[in-house]
């Protein structure tokens, strides 16, 4: 019928829509009946008591959603679209034998899924990473674990679901009660980035460390770290004060000649470099993942502990640190920075830029002058607190050592023999706790990761805490908090007058 002969076009369109809908409903009912019939045939079990067919059908639809794509498509094409196996073979361009095998495996997976649904609830409680990080270098595009997991709940839960036990796509989907179609792409992304490994049986397992601390483990580790921090305060820190009390200003610069400010940085630096026990050999090199973007690192994440932090018997925030950061230029260490509770920096490694130290060096040697072209550079240095204006004069607000980090390292007191023994004891105590938090496949990494803990950030933050409590380190000013625990290495020292 031609449209120009119609007197009531709206009515005609309504009639077409009604008929299409009626045909759709009829087809759905028919497919539902066929699907239920086939379900009962291949499971050979009574899924639910008589009269609960609708629930069985809903369960079946859910289980089909959990199937991996290669199984899901043959099930849908054969049972929903009513295609023959030969037609499926032609359409997918795969051998008929492959279609039969996939259909057989799909049925078995559905059968297992029904059984699991009857016997138990396999869903895990949704988790959320409290934080992520990496040990090593990011990729050339700046990619790191944050790029893949920050604010991405589904990826976090996928990784956690295969952390303790490897799973197939279907098993991951069922565990998370999320259709496989939403899982597959994310798994591929994480596998390509090196955060998931594909193992035998088409299963995946997480290749990142995910720490789940309990109240007991947190408090045990705190007790141990505090004990060894006190030993260092008693045995090694006095040597540092003695070595630095008449520091040579010809190669060490401290703003306003402030000895207290200098020691904040020297203690953190020295305990990191000089308390590494040479008798303990544990390299992390073999555990680093080489990523497609050029990054070489170990990725890790941690969950919120099972207890609220205010319920612990210590103040956790005092020890939450990003860690130690070194920047290099022309093969030389240009700067060292250590973020702790006591500074006011917020952005971690992302905002610790090599360019900042280049600007400071240019300022020191007179290359960076106050002219319109350099306004943004000066603004950056003022905002960071690396350059301070006092009585209308500027001064460099960080420790500067000339000419290199090696000179400072060689100058600092060596590790006492007593601490070498204590270092081994500390590593053993911490490993016994840590290994309970990780799957067995990570135990070797865990042991290497927890070697030389005497020089770790966990110890150094507690050293600073004890020295502040004992008034051996005095509180910092607001300006000092911006650049404390920052050391720059340069050929020329700044001046302050």
Q: Are residues 38 and 137 in the same domain?
A: no
Q: How confident is the model at residue 253 (pLDDT cuts 50, 70, 90)?
A: very high
| Under 8 Å between Cβ of 159 and 187 | no
Q: How far apart are CA 70 and CA 73, in angstroms?
A: 6
145 or 308, which is more confident? 145
Residue 37's domain comprises 3-119
Predicted confidence (pLDDT) per residue in 413-425, tens digit: 999 999 999 999 9
Tell me the average pLDDT across 164-179. 86
The predicted structure's pLDDT at residue 12: 53
The pLDDT of residue 405: 94
DSSP string, 156-209: HHHHHHTTSS-B-HHHHHHHHT--HHHHHHHHHHHHHTTSEEEETTTEEEE-SE
- The predicted model gives 183-210 an average pLDDT of 91
Q: How far apart are CA 404 and CA 51, in angstroms?
A: 81
Cα 201 to the center of its chain, rounded Å: 27
pLDDT at 468: 97
The reply to whether 298 falls in a domain is: no
Same domain, yes or no, for 154 and 25?
no
Residue 156 has pLDDT above 60, yes or no: yes
The tokens for 137 are: 């270098």
Could you tell me which residues come within 8 angstroms of residue 98 by beta carbon, excluding any fewer than 6 positions away?
Answer: 89
pLDDT at 115: 59
pLDDT at residue 280, rounded to an integer: 86
Least confident of 115-124, 139-148, 235-244, 260-269: 115-124
One domain for residues 425 and 479: yes
- Range picked from 132-146, 175-189, 221-235, 438-452 for highest mean pLDDT: 221-235
69 pLDDT band, cuts 50/70/90, is confident
My answer on whether 193 and 334 are in the same domain is no
Q: Which of 314-318, 345-349, 364-368, 398-402 has the lowest mean pLDDT?
A: 345-349
Structure tokens at 373: 């072209």
Residue 41 and residue 20 in one domain? yes
The band of 445, judged by pLDDT with boundaries at 50, 70 and 90, is very high
142 and 33 together in one domain: no
pLDDT for 65: 67
Q: pTM of the full predicted structure?
A: 0.69
Structure tokens at 362: 């240019």
Band the pLDDT of 92: cuts 50, 70, 90. confident
Give percent of the chain above pLDDT 70: 82
Number of domains in the chain: 3
pLDDT-derived band at 124, boundaries 50, 70, 90:
low
Taking residues 182-206, what's their average pLDDT?
Answer: 90
Q: Is residue 288 part of a domain?
A: no
Assigned domain for 184 exists: yes
Task: Please give the average per-residue pLDDT across 334-341, as a whole number.
Answer: 93
- Identify the band that residue 255 occupies on the pLDDT scale cut at 50, 70 and 90: very high
Give the phi and the psi of residue 287 in degrees, each rounded to 5: -100, -10
The mean pLDDT value for 86-111 works out to: 81
DSSP letter for each residue of 66-111: HS-HHHHHHHIIIIIS---HHHHHHHHTS-HHHHHHHHHHHHHHHH
Most confident of 294-303, 314-323, 426-435: 426-435
Q: Which stretch of DSSP H or E encloses residue 434?
A: helix 417-434
Pair (39, 158) in one structural domain: no
Please check whether residue 459 is in contact with residue 310, taking contact to mean a CB–CB distance below 8 angstroms: no
CB within 8 Å of 194: residues ≥ 6 apart: 207, 289, 290, 291, 292, 299
Tell me what the pLDDT averaged over the chain comes to. Answer: 83
The residues near 44 (Cβ < 8 Å, ≥ 6 apart) are: none
pLDDT higher at 264 or 41: 264
Last residue of a domain, one of 207, 241, 256: 207
Q: Does 297 reside within a domain?
A: no
As a whole number, mean pLDDT of residues 391-414 equals 94
pLDDT value, residue 304: 77
pLDDT of residue 36: 38
Position 147 in a domain = yes
Among the candidates 160, 184, 207, a domain finishes at 207
Structure tokens at 155: 């990826």
C-alpha torsion sign, points 444, 461, 303, 204: negative
Higher-confidence residue of 103 and 427: namely: 427
Q: Is 418:275 a contact under the CB 8 Å cutoff?
A: no
Instruction: Please state whether 236 falls in left (phi above 0), alpha (psi between -120 and 50) or beta.
Output: alpha
pLDDT exceeds 90 at position 15: no
Asked whether the predicted pLDDT for residue 39 surpasses 60, the reply is no
Shared-domain flag, residues 39 and 114: yes
Residue 117 has pLDDT above 80, yes or no: no
Based on the fold, state whether residues 164 and 220 are members of the same structural domain: no
Residues 52 and 69 in one domain: yes
pLDDT at 354 over 50: yes
C-alpha separations of 410 from 115, 309, 330, 406, 459 in Å? 67, 40, 21, 6, 22
In a domain, 347, yes or no: yes
Lowest mean pLDDT among 121-135, 148-162, 409-423, 466-480: 121-135
Residue 31, pLDDT > 70, answer no
CATH code at 16? 1.10.10.10
| Residue 496 in domain | no
Q: Is residue 290 part of a domain?
A: no
Q: Which residue has the higher pLDDT, 191 or 123?
A: 191
Pair 203, 235 in one domain: no
């Amino acid at each position: 019928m031609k449209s120009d002969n119609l007197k009531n076009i709206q009515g005609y369109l309504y009639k077409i829509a009604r008929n299409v809908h009626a045909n759709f409903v009829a087809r759905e009912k028919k497919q539902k009946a066929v699907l239920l019939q086939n379900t009962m045939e291949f499971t050979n079990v009574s899924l639910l008591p008589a009269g609960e067919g609708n629930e069985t059908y809903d369960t079946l639809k859910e289980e089909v959603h959990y199937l991996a794509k290669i199984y899901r498509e043959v099930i849908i094409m054969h049972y929903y679209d009513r295609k023959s196996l030969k037609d499926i073979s032609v359409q997918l361009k795969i051998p008929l034998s492959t279609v039969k095998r996939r259909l057989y495996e799909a049925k078995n997976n559905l059968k297992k899924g029904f059984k699991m649904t009857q016997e138990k609830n396999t869903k895990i409680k949704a988790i959320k990473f409290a934080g992520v990080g990496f040990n090593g270098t990011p990729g050339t595009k700046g990619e790191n674990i944050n790029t893949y997991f920050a604010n991405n709940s589904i990826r976090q839960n996928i990784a956690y679901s295969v952390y303790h036990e490897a799973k197939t796509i279907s098993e991951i989907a069922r565990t998370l009660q999320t259709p496989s179609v939403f899982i597959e792409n994310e798994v591929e992304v994480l596998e390509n980035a090196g955060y998931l490994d594909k193992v035998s049986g088409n299963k995946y397992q997480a290749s990142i460390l995910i720490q789940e601390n309990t109240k007991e483990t947190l408090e045990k580790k705190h007790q141990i770290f505090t004990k060894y921090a006190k030993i260092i305060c008693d045995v090694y820190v006095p040597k540092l004060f003695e070595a630095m009390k008449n520091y040579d200003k010809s190669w060490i610069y401290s703003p306003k000649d402030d000895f207290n400010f200098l020691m904040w940085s020297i203690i953190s630096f020295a305990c990191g470099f000089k308390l590494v026990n040479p008798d303990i050999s544990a390299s992390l090199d073999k555990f680093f993942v080489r990523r497609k973007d050029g990054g070489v690192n170990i990725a890790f994440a941690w969950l919120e502990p099972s207890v609220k932090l205010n319920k612990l018997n210590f103040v956790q925030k005092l020890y939450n640190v990003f860690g130690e950061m070194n920047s290099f230029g022309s093969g030389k260490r240009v700067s060292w920075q250590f973020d702790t509770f006591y500074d006011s920096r917020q952005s971690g490694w992302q905002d610790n830029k090599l360019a900042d130290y280049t600007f400071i060096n240019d300022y020191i040697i007179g290359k960076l002058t106050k002219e319109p072209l350099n306004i943004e550079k000066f603004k950056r240095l003022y905002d960071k607190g690396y350059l301070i204006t006092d009585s209308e004069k500027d001064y460099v607000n960080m420790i500067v050592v000339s000419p290199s980090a090696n000179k400072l390292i060689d100058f600092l007191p060596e590790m006492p023999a007593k601490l070498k023994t204590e270092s081994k004891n500390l590593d053993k105590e911490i490993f016994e706790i840590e290994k309970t938090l990780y799957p067995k496949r990570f135990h070797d990494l865990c042991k290497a990761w927890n070697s030389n803990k005497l020089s770790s950030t966990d110890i150094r933050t507690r050293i600073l805490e004890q020295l502040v409590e004992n008034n051996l380190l005095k509180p910092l000013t607001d300006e000092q908090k911006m650049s404390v625990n920052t050391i720059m290495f340069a050929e020329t020292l700044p001046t302050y007058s």
